[in-house]
Each structure stands twice: as C-alpha cells, then as structure tokens.
Amino acid sequence: MSHLPPQTKTLGPCGPLRGTITVPGDKSISHRSLMLSALAVGESRVEGLLEGEDVLATAAAMRAMGAEIQRGADGIWRIHGVGVGGLRQPDTALEMGNSGTSTRLLMGLVASHAITATFTGDASLSGRPMGRVIEPLSAMGAAITASLGGRLPLMLRGLCPAVPITYTLPVASAQVKSAILLAGLNTPGITTVIEPVATRDHSERMLAGFGADLSVEQGPEGRIIQIRGEAELRPQQIVVPGDPSSAAFWLVAASVVPDSDILVANVGLNPTRTGVIAALRLMGADITEENARVVGGEPVADLRVRHATLRAIEVPTELTPSMIDEYPVLFVAAAFAEGRTVARGAHELRVKESDRIAAMRAALELCGVVCEEFEDGLAITGTGGAPIAGGATIASLLDHRIAMSLSVAALHARRPITIDDAAPVATSYPGFYASLDRLAADTAEQAA
C-alpha cells in the first residue's frame, strides 16, 4: 500500500465559514460493509463508501483473502463474497497502513478460519498495542505471535472450528467487541460479548442486516450481545451515511469562527456516535438537525451549525464511548470557550494513532493555550471566544485527527499554524482541505 510523502501545511485566520458540504462516508460503517459483503454469498453493492487509505486497506485485505471487490465508474462498490468460512490463505502479508480498525476487525475474521495471516502497518500503527484483541481471540483458539508489547507486525493462525467464548470487555472498545463477534461468525455455537459500557453498535446493526443470528439484551452486567456461528450472510445494498467524526471538525470550526453558518449534509446520527454533538450543545453550540431520516437502519440528518459563544463544561464521562475519536477537536472547542473545560475518563486516547492526550496538550500549549494534563484527559482554559495566539509548528505524529484538529484551531488564531505533516489526513478525509477552501475563500493557506 502506497503512502503519501510528508506534506507541510500552514493555515491562518479566515473570515466566516459559509456553505453546504458533504463529509466522507462513515469510516466504521465502510470497514464493516466491505468485510461482511466479502463474507456474503452473491453481490453486495455499497454506495457512499469512504475512499480513504484506511478503508482501502480493508478492501485490499479482503481481495487478498478471495473476495472480488470493484469500484464502478458510478462510484458504487460491488463485492462478490466468498461465504462465511470461505476466506483463503493470503499470498503475502496484509498491509494495514495506519488503520487500527482494519487490523483488529480482520484479526477477528481470520481467527476462526483455517488460514494464517501476517499483519503489518506503518510506524504509527506498529506502535499501538493489540493485546486487548489478542487475549479474547487466543481464548477462541487462534495462535498469535506478535512483536514486543503485543504490537505489529504479528502473525495470526486461525482455528477452525474455533471455540465459542463468553467475554466481558475490560474496557469500552467497539473494535474489541467487533473482532470477537466477527470471529464468532464462523464458530460453532454461541459467542457472547458483555459490554458494561455501551459502545458504537454498527457491527450489531450490520450483522443483523446481513442475516446473522444475533441478539442484544440488557442485563445487570451491561449489554449482552450473542451471535450464533456458522452463519449464512445475504448480500445487501448499503448506503453509507456521512461520518459524524468527520462532521465534528466543521461543527467546531463554525462554532468558533465568528459569523459562520455551515450546513453539513447527510450525517449519520447513530446514538452511539453523537457524544460530541451532545458535548458541544452543553457548551452552548448552535447545532440543529434538519431533514431527519433513516437510511439503511441508521438515523441520518443534515446538521446546521452557526457561530456561538461557547462555555466551559465538565465533559460527562458517560459520553466518552460515543465520542472517543472526537476528543481532539473537542479540545480545540474548549480552547475558545469561556472558562476551564475538564475532560476526563478518556484513557483510550493514550493508545490511538498517537497519544492524543499528550499530543493535543503539547500542540495547544505551543499555540498559547493553558492546559493541564491528566492520565485520562485534559483541562483546558479557553479564551472566551478571542483568537488563540497560534504561530507554532505542530507535530501531527502521523495522526490524521491531530492534523485536522489543529487546522481548525488555526482558523481563529492570531498567527498562522503550521502542521508538520498533513498527509495522514488522507487516511480518513482525503477532501478535507478542499472542503475548507470552499467554505473559506479567504483562508490564508500555503503548502510547502
């Protein structure tokens, strides 16, 4: 898989952001639509797929294991699956690039097939621990040889038939839950996942849509998800809604740049993904939903956001699972709020594409923002709506969300902010800077 060379990006203050944009397809749904379509018998069609590097890594891996996957000139992806249990031995290592989601979910798929796969990734992904997935998949019978610290590159030898397990998630993680459920697809009997804290439920919704025998109940220990193995999946027609994680950048940008008014069209509003909207509304953001509808079992709406005066809050920890990817840009919103915002309970940020707690503290402090770092979050003292100082060069650490979050911060800074490498943005939002150009013609921007 090819990687873009480093791209330095400098952005400065801009005038009001105005217009209507459509964000890329939801990354979580895009990954899962490719994987499950590849396990169905017949042709599935996926419209609106996110065509970023992470999702393309998933497509390449499923091709390597036997699925036929093609993108038509009409932008629709057509997938001819191999059936549950039909994955074949890949000829070469599966190159995951920067995609932790691809890696963890595909490890689940391979775990219950009689094949061996080697997973490799870029420097960022290779530094991220996979132990939380290795533990339950090993209990199901997979033999996993990982690099020091449970990291990539690693080799996974699946077991067929695998052993069904009942597993309680020690930490809230949709990726770990999904990996176990995907392994359970080709495992005889019933595989059970108990999550004490609910996480995004795209896997459950999509597995049921493809015809898997899956149940979800609320018990005293939390949500109990059970899947009966040796499933037969039916091909589907899928329309991927816009990614709320990508929309979050525009929600914050329009909230902090004076006189802004943006309509973000076709945003997925799965209730397990809308924590950042709830948090921003608690801060006083002016976000309204228009044209609410249901598409493919997922709630969708157009989001209109106007500039507003933001107030500091203590971010409710119960929102954490539904906004874990949006914390970096929420930290940016806090930098412009009135008062001291405290966000805690987000330990998982330490093991994302970068240590997002330390990375955002360092970046914001370089831009003149007062921060206090905790093991599980940050406290940020905002400007009350005034521009931040800016004038810094920020290390993105190969993390697309760090790069985009600081790009948003630059739009209301006194001096331009330079991102040392904006190339990772292509992993999730290839058109981010083109969209910014459309919304703010006066944005002071240069690429070197």
Chain-centroid distance, C-alpha 329: 13
- Using CA atoms, how far apart are residues 133 and 272, in angstroms rounded to an integer? 21
Separation of alpha carbons 254 and 264, rounded Å: 11
Considering the candidates 54, 325, 399, 421, report the single residue annotated as catalytic: 325
Q: 74 among the known binding-site residues?
A: no
Locate all alpha helices (DSSP H) within 99-230, ordered by sequence: 100-111, 123-126, 131-139, 174-184, 202-209
88 is an annotated ligand-binding site residue: no
Phi-psi region of 65 (alpha: psi -120 to 50; beta: other; left: phi over 0): alpha
How far, in Å, CA of 110 to CA of 209, rounded? 21
* Angle at 59 (CA atoms; ends 56, 62), nearest 5 degrees: 150
**350 carries a ligand binding annotation:** no
Closest CA to 55 of 75, 82, 89, 26: 26
415 is in an annotated binding site: no
User: 131, 123, 121: which is closest to 100 by C-alpha?
Assistant: 121
132 is in an annotated binding site: no
Residue 100 annotated as binding site: yes
Exposed/middle/buried for residue 292 (C-beta within 10 Å: 0-12, 13-18, 19+): exposed
DSSP sequence for 358-380: HHHHHHHHHTT-EEEEETTEEEE
In the block, tokens 């459920």 appear at 181
Tell me: is residue 32 an annotated ligand-binding position: yes
DSSP classification of residue 50 = -
- Residues pairing with 305 in the sheet: 262, 287
The reply, when asked if residue 27 is annotated as ligand binding, is: yes
Active site annotation includes 442: no
Tokens found for residue 434 = 């083109």
Closest CA to 280 of 329, 211, 239, 352: 329
150 conformational bin, left if phi > 0, alpha if psi -120 to 50, beta if neither:
left
356 annotated as a binding-site residue: yes
Is residue 255 marked as binding?
Answer: no
177 belongs to an annotated ligand binding site: no
User: Nearest to residue 300, comparing CAs of 268, 274, 328?
Assistant: 268
Say how far residue 148 (Cα) sits from the centre of its chain: 26
Binding positions for phosphoenolpyruvate are 27, 100, 128, 175, 356, 401
Residues recognised as catalytic: 325
Binding positions for 3-phosphoshikimate are 27-28, 32, 173, 175, 325, 352
Binding positions are 27-28, 32, 100, 128, 173, 175, 325, 352, 356, 401
